[in-house]
Amino acid sequence: MWVWLQGRVIKVLTALKLKGIPYESFEEDLSNKSPLLLQCNPVHKKIPVLIHGGKSICESMVILEYMEETWPQIPLMPDDPYERARARFWVKFVEDKGVAVWIMFHSSGEEQEKAVKDSLEMLKTIEEHALGKKRFFCGDKISLVDIAYGWIAQWLAVLEEVAGIKLMEPQKFPRLHTWIKNFKDEPIIKENLPGHDEMLVYFKPLGGRAPSR
């Protein structure tokens, strides 16, 4: 199982590297879940799981917030309380609305049409309200918001190709396209993003099953 292609795993690996936190990773066969995974995440039985000080933390965005509080030396959130609140708003926005893209990928007919409409509305909102003239969502450096939106930078194009539907037209979303270029040009991001062709091999056989962000 290519767990390293799952967006939620990449989020955590990216944050670990941006913060310079030493870590040891373990591959997990999701078709035959290990006793360690079942012990550390007995509720959802999913990856990723961060084990720190003998305690396990589950769910990618929860892990990222834990890391931000535990290792504040290299912050991935703004210092200003208002800007931090704004950052959390946009993280929650994509967590709530981004599901439409994945519904589009594994549906058909009217359900898919609605998912396409919802996906375009989400992208339009991000374009008009979340991205300003800054290089990244919160300024000139990558933040947890950028990491939360990272799947748009790499996974979305693959899902479009597999589903045969184009969402991200450059003329409609110029700010998003600029952000994607800036994001993917960052050295640590380049190191962590899986290749387009590898992702196609992973996603094409999924068919009606929803992949993981």
DSSP code string of the chain: --GGGSHHHHHHHHHHHHHT---------TTS--HHHHHH-TTT--S-EEEETTEEEESHHHHHHHHHHH-TTS-SS-SSHHHHHHHHHHHHHHHHHTHHHHHHHT--HHHHHHHHHHHHHHHHHIIIII--SSSBTTBSS--HHHHHTHHHHHHHHHHHHHHT-----TTT-HHHHHHHHHHHHSHHHHHHSPPHHHHHHHHGGGTTS----
Question: According to the model, what pLDDT value does residue 151 have?
Answer: 92
> Residue 164, class by beta-carbon neighbours within 10 Å (0-12 exposed, 13-18 middle, 19+ buried)?
exposed
- Cα torsion 100, 101, 107, 113 to 10°: value is 70
Identity (one letter) of the amino acid at 104? M
pLDDT at site 3? 47
Single-letter code of the amino acid located at 95: E
Domain spans, the chain:
3-70, 81-204
Predicted local confidence at residue 1, as pLDDT: 32
Q: How far apart are CA 67 and CA 15, in angstroms?
A: 8
Assigned fold of 3-70? Glutaredoxin (3.40.30)
Q: Which pLDDT score is estimated for 206? A: 66
Which pLDDT does position 4 carry in this prediction? 47
pLDDT along the chain (213 residues), means of 10: 64 95 89 93 94 96 96 96 97 96 90 96 97 93 96 90 91 96 95 84 65 51
What's the half-sphere exposure (Cβ side, CA atoms, 13 Å) at 138? 26
CA distance linking residue 213 with residue 210, whole number of Å: 9
Q: What integer pLDDT is reported at residue 68 of this predicted model?
A: 97
| CATH number assigned to the domain covering 81-204 | 1.20.1050.10
**Rounded to an integer, what distance in angstroms lies between the CA atom of residue 27 and that of residue 187?**
24
